[in-house]
Structure formats: structure tokens, C-alpha cells
Structure 1
């Protein structure tokens, strides 16, 4: 080529920074291209003679046409470039297609679950068939939801509802200022000396008073108050405690011992002023009028003390003869005690009084606990006849409506229930507590039976059908995906099977796929295996309804169709486990993370990622811990979410890991936390706006994984540490903040490197609040 205009000069590639929400691929719009072309005319020698300025000039028309073409081309170039990446794609379904290349299937909406307690009328066992529907009420602006039983449930009227006896306390409190006893057994009055014998220790005190307690018990109970609080040994129990009182008293030898006679009190030895029939092991109390000391006798001997010293007398007879007579000393035998330890009394021994002859002062009645804790005995007096069907699930509800689900057994012989020791309850229940024995699991989703989707046409290689109701219900399941579909499809009366993709499907395989769009519509596609037979009806049975909104406790209790013999449904616990379908924004965040798993969980990071993707989980952390039962290291996944999710999460993780991998899931309890921040604001800024900006940096709502304020549980996670330096930097980076006057954590200055919750817990600033210049943000 000889003309310079035929040469192409490559421009430098566009430098695009990373992390942009929009790729700046378009160099300009129509005016920019037109101005650029006209400006370039003067740089071309071949166009030096061109002077046209009229709009009808062919040259100008060509310039404007070129600018138009370049404008359209750059627009679509930018659009195509942006839609080629997950982070910048905006068109409907684009992100779903991108993550599909990674083998990631977008999570559909998951239906929640709820544990229900049923009660039956009469004396016969009532069977609730699978599919029995129970509707919730409206809640938090959400319409009622329908839950259905997944399998038949037998309702045994013998265990409808039973009250749990209050549990007696087992350990003595410390310090101990009073005891409770059965009223008819109390033999004490104010001022009496008493001895508390517990755990091998003896504690002496005086009685301050007694009084009848007003309790919700059949037996009258008396409270025995002590003049001074006692400190029982650690681990002392009511069962191993006796309250004693002395019936007799004795004095201590009061005369000065004679030559060769033992001291009245030396260390642990003590001489009385009389003989007593005391024995080794007896309990005595030595008092000096103010102080008391209880001791156990280890040895009893007898010793002699001089009662009257030798006396010399003289007698003069009639002859004035003086006869001197020396009378022997008068001695007396007394009891000498050896005690188990020295006495702490500092007053003169002659003032001491020994209390002995101990008898039972009262029959102790351990106080009834106000709460029922995991591990306490569950006594159920109303359990008279054994249930005719096996009961393994138990629901407990306290007076405030708080509940606990546990597994266990019912024993009519002992009128008691036995609850499993795991998983942990996470709370104590306040008396009175009710036990429900007829427990059944219901899952969200309303059934649609026999919906005709269309007919097969063997002349078509591909056929698609849409379900009339949405969203299609998926339920949690112990598999790698963590979910299962409720959809069942029959073609010409023969059930076909759902597969994730047609890859590897045989030409005669009766399979189909299900795809969801961004609006939650489910589309069934046939043709990747066998073609649909011509004229064969395609019929679907499924359930619809799912999402993250779950009804609270005492909401799911309206049976849609009456069942003979069913009295009522009681909803103790809130529903759990639901989640919304992943939207485009969530796909952009979670899709790439799926590359960490590739269908298997091997490392702690893999397990943590898989747990965080489970429905209802806000955050998760996996750690190696020692398994005391299995005597081996185990992976413990702590997660922030409903405790009822633990079995589902554990099953899903086991499906991703090795079959024998030791994995357990535990719900992290919240630990209330409060943060107070006092900032200095630049005078040029509006203080309210700066405070709001600091609050946003610290406690903004979470919208996507990795977003939200610094102190949100989703950011901190279980066992999450709040570092002081990170917190200070987040505050100081807010425009308008010039200084930090004070920073308090839970009421104390935050001067440490960091603060963390108790093991396995997470810091809940929503409970305590985030306060900025005295204004609560969270």
C-alpha cells in the first residue's frame, strides 16, 4: 500500500481498573465521535482542500454516519464486555448462565420446616395422614403459609400434654444464709445453736428465725434463717447434708490445774468439768458466748484434776500438845476430749460451753428450682399408662412460651421422661413446664396434584413446559446439594426422573431437567434423553411455596381440613430453615466460591464454605476440636442460625465429605455486646450526617455475603474477635471525623488489642447496641 491513509495505527489498549461495577469500554457517544472525526480532518493532507460546512455536504453526511456507526458499535462493545463477566453482568439470566459454566446450580427457594405438637380427643390413637396441611397466621406483613406433614403421624392421647414437676436443687449455694425444711420436722427456735454437717465439714451457727414459706407445693415448707452466712465446701449437696442441734451442754474445767496435771485446753485437746458418755465421732460445738466452733471427737479419755489442795491442820489437846494433821488432796475425774482440729477461740477457756448430744434439727427439703435445665430429672406424674406407639421426639414449653425440642423416651413405670444429652438446649425453661409427647415435623409447601402440563410430541427433539404455581418447593436434604425437590412428573402414567444436566444421558433415558428464571418460574425441559411419546400426557405433582420468611411460634396451628379425633395443633417453636432463591447479586458473590468445593469438602475452608451456603445460616466457622466421646480430633462447625438447623447442616456436610469424617454442627449462642463511641466532628460537616456515616460503617445492614457493617454477626462470625485497631480505623476513615474522644466496650475502656466472645458464641451488638455520641445506631 502506497497511501499513508491505508496504514492502520493501533491505539494503546484501554486500561481498566479491577473491581469496577461497570467496564468503561465505550470511548464516547455520538457527539464525541463526530467531534473527533471532524478534528481529524485537518490532520489529513488529502483533505486540505475540503472546505464544506453545509449540512447537505456528502462529506459531512459520511462523517455523521460514521459517528453513528461508531456510537452504536461502542455501545454494544461495552454491553457485551460487561455481560461477559459475573461481576458486571446486568441482563436477566446472564449471571445464572455464567455460574453454570462453573457447574454451580443456583439455589432455588427452600421451604422451611416446623415441629408441631398434636393432641387427640378420646382414648384411641388418631393417625394424621401424610399431606395433612396446617396453615399459619399472618406475620410481619407476610401472608399465611401452608405446611404439610411428610409422613403419617400417630397421635397418642395418653401423652397429649403433661406437666413436668419442678426439680429440686442438688447443690448447696455459697454463701448459705438459710435452709428450707419440712414444717413438721423443725425443732429449732431463734437463738438455738445448730450444726450443718455437709461434705465432711462441720459448720456451726445460731438460728436467727424460722418462718412458713408461701409456695406452690402441697407440703408446708419452713425457712430456717441463720444469724451469719455459712460457706459450704464446693460441691456440697442437699442429699449429703444434715442440720443438727445439741440437746445438752457441759462446762470446761475452771480451776487452775495442779502440779503435773494437763492444761485445760491445749490445741485440739479440751478438759470438761464433768464425766460425759461421749464417743469417738460425736459432734460437739464449743462456744465462748459469741463465737462458735463445731468439731468432731477423735478420742475420749479421763483425767484427774485437783478439786481441793492438801490441807494441814493442827489440834491442841488439854495438855497443850499440838498434833498436826495433813489431809490428802481431793481430786475428781473428768472427761478429756481430743478434737479433729484446734479451736479458734481466743477467750479464757473457763468461759467456754460445750454443746453435745446432737439430734436431727429438721428434715431438709431442697428448694425447688425455678428452671428446668438440660440434664435435670424430668418427672411427669400424669404419665400413668405407657404410650401404645413409640415416642422418640419430645417438646417442652415453659410458662413464657419458650420451647425446646429433644429426643428421648417416656417411662410410665417411673412416671418420668429421659431426654438426650445432645444437642445442647441453649436455654433453661422456667416453671411450670409442659411436655408434649406427640411431635411431628411439617414442611412448607402446598400440594398440587395431577397438574396437566401438556402432551408429548415425538416429532420435536426438545419440549419445555412451565409449572402454573411458583415457586416450586425444595426441602432440606442430607445430600451434597443440601436440598431435594418436591416435583414428581409422570409421562403417560410412567414416572420420569429429574437430572441436573443431560450430559451423559442415554438416548432412551426418561429424564428431564428443571431450570428456574430470576422470577422463580420453573421450566421443565425434555429431549436430552428420550423424546416424549406423541400424545402422552405430561402430569406434574408438586408443592409450591418457599422463602426466608418463617412464621413465629404459636402461629402454625390451623388445620386446613378437619381430621376426626384431632383436638388441636400446638406450635411451640418457630419455623426454621427457609431461604429465598439466589438472586443475580448473590450469584455474583457465591458462584465463584463454589470453585472451592467442586462437589467435595476436604479442608476446613471447604467445610466452612459449604456450611455458610446452607439455608438459614448467617455465618459459619469450622475448627478442629477434641471429641471426648470419640477420643479423636473432630471438625466442629459453629454457625449463626436456628439451633434446629444443626441436624440438616451436619447431614449436608457429611454428604460432601468422607463417609467416616468426624463432623458436627453446633449453633452459636449470642453474647450481648455494647459499643460506645465518642467522636470529634469537623465543624464544616453536619454532625448528624457524620454520626449516620459512622453508624453505617460499623453496623450497616447485610445485603450480600461479605457486606454489612464491621460489627455485624455475618462479618464477625462465631468466635469472632473485634480488633481495636480495625475499629478505630473504620471510624477515623469516615469523612468529617477528626478525632476519637472515647471508645468503650461493654462499659469499660477498649484498650486491649481485641475482645472476643466466650468459646463457641458470637458477639451480638444488636442486643446491646452501637452508640455514637449517645445516639443508638444498632
Structure 2
């Protein structure tokens, strides 16, 4: 609608006057030569009279400087665009950050590990920070001793290894070489899969009551073949027959045969022997019985790398945070509650970055793994009440007054009020019975607190000394705390796990600390002793967390990126810092067996006591940095390869099977009438029925993966006991009793001499495994001496139906596992009947 006073239409606005035509710019110019040509063409249009082309001319010089600046800016633009995408990024730092955003942890390699056996002439207690083991080539060996001067370590050693444990290293002469106990002159062999052995001990001391061996649970020993079983020569020993095991049970005893002191030892199923170990054999030209295999104690776990603080006068790498505009202030509250600042501060500077001088920084996977320690602590905490009851029962059965340490234990457990009048009686058995009968009532509060700690440990939290150490000592006693101390080797898991390194979880052996010698003024610099620790990233770091990110480029140079005051605390300007890190990483540490032969001490006073250093096992786990091309290929698929949620029943079963100690799982989803429920059946590794603590661990683990509104219920696998009758015809040349024993050993649960499980062993069967008559007959015919075999009965225990399935296959339900223990004391677990004919 026209709103002007008259009816005439408003005149259109006048177009702007035409100006001079803009310069013709070639946007394809991207390098020095094209920029120079473009500038010269422009000058030819704007200054036709200028035609100088000589290099010394001032105009030509300005053109070349501008072309150079344009070339630099063009390169930076291309570099920013190139590094912005994972497929085109060329810098290692850019590729690492892109991969991190999609959940793919790019690794920088990992250091190798092995076990070192030390032979000594005297009892020693050494600090792991005071010694370094080295592999010295024969042409550089300094003398005949096992120790070398610390100042010669870097010059002579080819590869250096440092101890991984934090506790003091105890060395004993009796652990240099330990013989395995055998029965007289009989040949002895430990089959594959063995988890127990007997060691020969000796009486020592003037009165002959002390023992030579002082092994405890958590110690690592190396079982090795010392001689060849056939010839008895040292040179014929098989180097592959060596294995390290961590002891889980040590029981001193006395062998009635000859009144010989022995030590019964056991180790975890994960450390079970992977080969048959010959202990003793008749060998040599005189056919004498010789000790073939021995055990080596004084074992130390070591890792490739040498700290830059090692050596005389070495203090680490020192540097100072430069002055200038620092990071955001640590008090980030906006002034006037969000009102604009009348005097705004300058924008914060980028995070402080320092490049280390050393290269090939040691990357170490966490040991022991926090998840393994937390799981072991949960099991130890769950055993506290029963351990206390057993000790009280032992005191009740011991006549006479109670010793002082037992009195202190009872006072700590029940309190002085509950134990009042207990020690006046010379026979306190009745009073101890009263404490046992009221055990749950008197310790109700402590048991509730214990359940809380168990749930925390099962969730993956490591209970440290600063958290609950004092509480456990005051409520359950000092001995109870020792069983859950994270530094105790018994909680570090099997020895095989110590040599399995995951480079994606490895972090640099690095710490940055504020210099203790710097002059400190409150608020001006960080206090002396303040330490920054490495992290993979700063995404979860708060303003007060002193974390840093080590980033390695393509040349192997490591840069430390500190926080900015929001994601990680920033070091204050002027703070003097010292970086202490290890040097040595990757494939260079994968040395062979018997390569480590020397040790260096910070002090040479204890060096003569070490007589021999050796590594029976090769160093393994050394990994180089991950190539960039591999990251580009694998990182985009990472979010789709890791199962991180449970939706279907198969998802629940797959995630539950990841828990250590679980062999197989099966799951079903059902509606209870009020909510949905995921029922998970657990088949434990090496056991017929899953223990309660394993079921609790699986349920706690699945809580983070389950769907909202779904409950998780775990239970042991449902077994289907069977009745089996087998008619066997024996060859005339074989003894019937021997064939019968071989058949029972083959069909019953257990391990065969070659390490294979029996036909009805729990580890050989799984959920829904059908029992086929043809397989039973084939297994029986494989036994030497069996001419023919026939199954005459195969059905569920207690079933009164047909004796044989019509199809020859006995089917079981998806959540059931067939079971046949053939235990006379428990016939409800399945029965096996053999009808033998023939033979002699």
C-alpha cells in the first residue's frame, strides 16, 4: 500500500556511481612463484613505467618478500585444513587427538618386562630405587663380579632394567637354588596344568629348629629344567621349560619318610604349567637318579628403562615456567556476580608447553592392575569374619591362658568391654564360646561397614592406606590390613599377568615436581614439592588437578602440555620445575634369556654380596609406537567394535563373560510382571559351580551396562546330571583293571596326563551342549585296550523314561550344562557304570 501524500509512486533509489574496476586476482596462486608472478603482473598495470627486473632492485626485493610471506600464510592455511581431519592429518599429535575423540587410544609403545633371579651369599634387604640391572655384552664385562660401578653403567650396559616393585627386596642364600621333593629314586614328573608342588627344605640354626626356606604367599619362583632328562648334562636342558609362578599358598611341613622338612606350595590356575616338567630322571652313562628341575627364588620383576636421575650428581631435567600473562586465575568467579568487568583482563595465554631433552621416554603399563587389586581386596574383605572365627576357635581349643598378641586381637575385635573378665580365667574356652555365639550381634556395625567396603572394592576402587588403613587396623587388626594392603605382592595377581603389557594403557614413567631449592614466596610460585603427574588427556581434570599430557611427535621428542587453569592446574610463572623420567622403550628391551648379567648400586658397599645375576625368561612386551597409518585405518571403526551396552540377551552374556574367572555365560530376558529382568547363568572356570563372590562380581560389573529399568540377576549354571552305562569289550592282551582305570580317567572330570580335560570335565562342557552317543563311543575306543564299546544307558538322573534317546543325542536346555561327576558320595551329580568283558 502506498503511504506517500500524493498518488505518485516513489522514485527508486539512484544506483551508486560506478567505481574503478577491481584488480583481477588469481585465487589459484598458492606458492612463492605464483605469488611473485601475480605481484609483478599487478605492478605492470598500476606502474607501467616500472620495468626493472633485476634482483638487487628495491621493488623486486619487496615483491619477493611479499611472495615469501604469502607462501608462508598459504602453507599455514593448508596445514590447518589438513590437520583438521583424521584422514588427512600428517602430524602425530593431530592424529592422536582425533583418535581420542572417537574413543581410540593411540599408543606410543611400551617397555619390556622380565623376571631376574639374584644369587647372594648373605641375607640382604635392598631398596628397589638403589639398584639397576643391566645386560652387558661379553666384550664389556668389567671383571668377574656381578656388580659394576654406577659410573660405568651407561658406558658398559647395552640395555638397563629397573625393579618394578615398591617394597624392599629381600634376598636369601637359601632361595638361590631350591630342589623339588621326590620320592626316593623314583622318576618324577609334573604334568602340564600342575598348580602344586613340594619343595625340599633344610633344618638350620644351632638347635636345628629353624628352616632354610622363608617363602610367603606373593613370592615369585621360577621352575626350570636344569639338566637334560635324557643325558643329565647341563647343556642339554631345554630353555623352553622355564616358567614363573606366583605363590598363593605356602605350607611348611615334615615328610614322614626320613623326617625331611618340606614346603608345600601352590599357585593360581592362570600360572598352571604349560609343559610337562621332569623333576628327576635316571640319566647319564651310569644311569643315576639326578635332579632335573629346580626352583629359583630371589626373583625380581624388572622393566626396561633407566631413570635420568640415576648416577652421580644426576638431578633430573630442570626448567622454569616463563613469566608473562599466565593462565586463567585459579579463582574463576566472574566479578560482580556475572556483571561485565570494567577493567577486563587480557585473554589467557595458551597452556604452558615444555619439550623434554631426552628421547625414547619409557612407557609403562600399570602394574599391578588396579582392577586386579580391587578384586583381590574384595575377596580378602569377604573372608575377614571367617578368619576371625577360625582364630577364635583355635584359641578355644588351646589350653592355658591367652598370649598377649591374642588378647590384643580380641580387644581390637570386640572391644575391652566385651572381653572383660576373659583373661582372668586360666581356661577361657567357655568365654570364647560366648563370643562366637554372639559374633554377629557384637560386630553388627562392623559387618555392615565391611559390606560397604566390599561393594566399593567390587566396583573397581582400590582401597588405599590413606583411605581405610587406619580404620581396618582399629577394627579388624594389623594382620587383617596386611591381607588387603595394595602393596602386598599376594594381591598382584598371577605371574603371567605381570608380563602381559597393554601399550594402550601405558603412561610415561615421568613426574614433574616443583624444585625444593627455589626461593618460595606465598602466592608467587607453586610450593616446593608440588608434583604434576601424566595423564592421557585433560578432559576429566579439574582446576585443582595437577595433571599434564605428554605428547610425542614423529621425531620421538616428547612435549609436556600442562593445564590452563580450567582443565588441569597451570604452573605459576617463575616456578622452577624438575622432570624425572625413564629412558628406554619399545622393541630394544625384548632381549633373550640369560642376557641380564650385571647389577649396579648407588652405593658399592653391598655389591660383593651378589654372586650371580640372570634372567631365565626372555624379556617380552616391548612394543614400538603405533604407526599413524594404522590409527587412520582402525580409529573410525573403534566405536562400533567395542560392546559398551547390553540390549539383547547375547549382549548380557558377552559382557558378563569378560569377568576374570568366568569360563562361559548364558542369559535370558524375561518380564516379571512388574519390571524386566536379565537372568545370567555363570559357568566358573575350573569349578563345577560358580562361587558366591564371583556371582556378586558379575552382577556389580553388569550394572554399568544394563538398560534402564532392567534388573540383573546372576546365578550358577543349572546342571543336568546324567546316568551313563557303557559296555566295553577289552582286548585279550590287556589287563581289564588297567583299561577300566584309563576309561574312568578319560570320562570323569579332571585333567589327563597330557593336560586335556576329561570328557565330562566342567571346562569341556558349556551351556546347551548336547551329549552325543557317537562321541562317547569314539572317546572310549581311543583308550588303548578297548576293542569295542556300546552305550546301553544315557538319560537324566532320576528319569524313568527310555534308556537311550531315539536320535542318539541327549539334548539339554540353553541354560543347562551336562554333569557327570561319578562321585559315590554324591550320586545325584551323575553316575557312570562300566560293564567290562574280556581282557585278562
TM-score bracket, normalised by the shorter chain, equals: 0.3 to 0.5
More helix by share: 2
**Which of 1 and 2 has greater Rg?**
1
Higher RCO, 1 vs 2 (CA within 8 Å, ≥6 residues apart): 2
TM-score, with structure 1 as normaliser: 0.41
